[in-house]
Amino acid sequence: MKFGKMLRDALRSLFRKPVTVEYLTKPGRMVPVSERFRGRLTYDRDACIGCLLCVRVCPSGVIASTEDMKVAFNISRCILCGQCAEICPKEAIKLSTQFEIITGNKNGLILK
């Protein structure tokens, strides 16, 4: 890139609104995301009928059946594809807008 063009672009960018957004809009307040955002899974255990369709469609082996005919999720392996939520006949699985999934506690990544 020529120096003149670079300088012009740099000067122009001084007067433009930033394209990026701040991670925290205010202290403790996260950046808003779309309603259709695919974030951390939620599971309504009471609504679940144990049909295991979600186990069959999950491409990452996240979901396993439990002894009480329900399911458990190992969130650390989830790729947030949403197939389990789509196939669940009872809408027991949803993808939330929560995008902060990292934790120091491995047990926090097991959803039952």
Measured from the CB of residue 69, what is the shortest distance to ligand SF4 in angstroms?
Answer: 8
According to the binding rule CB under 6 A, does residue 111 interact with ligand SF4? no
Return the number of the residue (30 or 38) whose C-beta is nearest ligand SF4.
38
- Count residues near ligand SF4 (CB under 6 A): 28
What is the distance of C-alpha 17 from the center of its chain? 28
- The torsion of the CA quartet 90, 41, 61, 102, rounded to 10 degrees, works out to -170
Measured from the CB of residue 46, what is the shortest distance to ligand SF4 in angstroms?
Answer: 10
Residue 22 tokens read as 């701040």
Measured from the CB of residue 23, what is the shortest distance to ligand SF4 in angstroms?
Answer: 24
According to the binding rule CB under 6 A, does residue 52 interact with ligand SF4? yes
- Per CB under 6 A, which region of 8-16, 24-32, 45-53, 96-104 contacts ligand SF4? 45-53
Residues at the contact surface with ligand SF4, assessed by CB under 6 A: 48-54, 57-60, 62-63, 71, 73, 78-84, 87-90, 92-93
